[in-house]
Amino acid sequence: MVYDVNVAPISPKMGVQLLDFLSKLGHYKTEENDDFECTTAMIDLIAKKIKSEISNLTNFEKVDLGIALLIIPIQPALELANQCLENISETDFKAACHDLMALTGYFEKYENNEIEFIDESNFAIGIIARYLHRITANMENCKNEFGDI
């Protein structure tokens, strides 16, 4: 299993990347489908590790992590996102979003279409660039497709 033998604890940011990776290995269990028992077990293990660390995060880190988790199409990621954001006021959420915009140069940091590793010095929301890369990588010029924003 992923990380079962690792002694170092899994940080929430590393956990998000692992959930993203694992969600592509096979299906997570649903009422109709439970064919990928190993994938489900690994996802559950990583989700448990992330869940145990959420209470130690600042509001800013919770918002960053919560937004990043929303892009991962599995039920545990949605549950973790809800846990990250459950005690965040609207004011704190807006302040964290503003800080994320300012600290990323209004998201220009992710404009280069390069997929980067999300370590402790980067923001978890960088994972969204991975999903957008699938769309924008096939376009010659995004401005022609979407216009200036």
Q: Is residue 5 part of a domain?
A: no
Domain count across the chain: 1
Q: Is residue 4 part of a domain?
A: no
- Parent domain of 87: 12-146
Q: Is residue 73 part of a domain?
A: yes
Instruction: State the Cα angle at 100 between 95 and 103, rounded to 5°.
Output: 120
Chain segment 81-136, per-residue pLDDT in tens: 999 999 999 999 999 999 988 887 766 766 665 666 666 667 777 777 766 666 65
Mean per-residue pLDDT over the chain, rounded = 80
Residue 62 has a CB neighbour count (10 Å cut-off) of: 24
Chain segment 4-58, per-residue pLDDT in tens: 545 677 889 899 999 988 988 877 887 777 777 888 889 999 999 999 999 999 9
Q: Is residue 57 part of a domain?
A: yes
Chain segment 76-86, per-residue pLDDT in tens: 999 999 999 99
Q: Which two three-digit tokens encode residue 3?
A: 């990380």
Q: Is residue 7 part of a domain?
A: no
Q: What is the mean pLDDT of residues 54-80?
A: 94
% of the chain beyond a pLDDT of 90: 40
